[in-house]
Amino acid sequence: MIKLFQIKNYAIPNTIEEAYQLLNEKRANTLLGGCGFLKMGKKTIPTAIDLSHLGLDKIKEDENAIEIGAMTSFRAVEVSSILNDHFDGILPRAVKEILGVQFRNVVTVGATVYSRYGFSDFITALLALDAYVILYKGGKIPLAAFLAQGCQKDILIKIVILKKNTRAAFHAMRNSQGDYAILNVAVSKENNEFKIAVGARPQRAMIAREASKLLGEGQLSEAMIEEVSILAAKELTFGSNMRGTKEYRQILCKALVKRGIKEVLS
């Protein structure tokens, strides 16, 4: 008999505190996002905690920041006028190639970021922006620090992105439409400050710090862009899997970084 994931009890709390209490009652109690990943596994869940009554599915904007609630779907990110109007629409662009609309209608921002998937397109795009995660217990943490730290049992409430006059670009290479990216790259520019984020290495996304710094300091010539792209491919580590070798990823990194820089300078 094929074993599927099983839920013993289903809870739909009305407060985040209630959800947190339920989560910590038993080790295997599990939060539900859109279940894209959960339903592919074989986990037996004593209590599954549905976060959909907590109002966490909103994208909001004020003078200083944009907030994306944890239960916001990728489709909502894709069609959001707020997100299309900021950062050159990098977040909608990063999710629009992920499988089909039906899939993007259900998968959620919170589950994606909390799970720190190495292949994630959304995380790479977010990393190039000034983004923070807000955890129920852990509070506000810069995304880069959150990605570097280990997993603690917590609830991701929302993502906050500081609103700046940021230019941004996202590029990914896939073997075929619908597949995971072999590599993805996001580049941002705010005045003279650049961030080059590279994901699907296949490890989780990281900022190429030396390359980003060099780009902010140098003359923005063709030769400098070439030098920065070589440095990014050199300072980051890459691995091999069924989608591509580490050598191929290194070559792709150079090409996609170059493309991203040229786009934010255009």
Ligand X SMILES: Cc1cc2nc3c(=O)[nH]c(=O)nc-3n(C[C@H](O)[C@H](O)[C@H](O)COP(=O)(O)OP(=O)(O)OC[C@H]3O[C@@H](n4cnc5c(N)ncnc54)[C@H](O)[C@@H]3O)c2cc1C
Query: Which stretches of the chain bind ligand X, using CB under 6 A?
Result: 30-38, 40, 51, 70, 98-99, 107-108, 110-112, 114-115, 117, 119-122, 155-156, 180
Select 35 or 128, whichever has its Cβ closest to ligand X. Answer: 35
Give least dist CB 179 to ligand X, A: 7
Residue 188: beta bridge partners?
Answer: 168, 195
- What tokens does 246 get? 């580490």
Select 89 or 216, whichever has its Cβ closest to ligand X. Answer: 89
Select 7 or 265, whichever has its Cβ closest to ligand X. Answer: 7
Start-to-end CA span in the chain (Å): 57
Strand arrangement, sheet containing 167-174: 167-174, 181-190, 193-199, 206-207
- What tokens does 164 get? 């700046």
Give least dist CB 82 to ligand X, A: 20
Q: How many helices (H) and strands (E) does the chain have?
A: 11, 12
What's the CA gap between 199 and 183, in Å, rounded? Answer: 6
Select 134 or 144, whichever has its Cβ closest to ligand X. Answer: 134
Select 91 or 207, whichever has its Cβ closest to ligand X. Answer: 91
Nearest alpha-carbon partner for 114 in 135, 97, 93: 135
Give least dist CB 114 to ligand X, A: 4
Give least dist CB 239 to ligand X, A: 17
What's the CA gap between 135 and 9, in Å, rounded? Answer: 24
Give least dist CB 153 to ligand X, A: 9
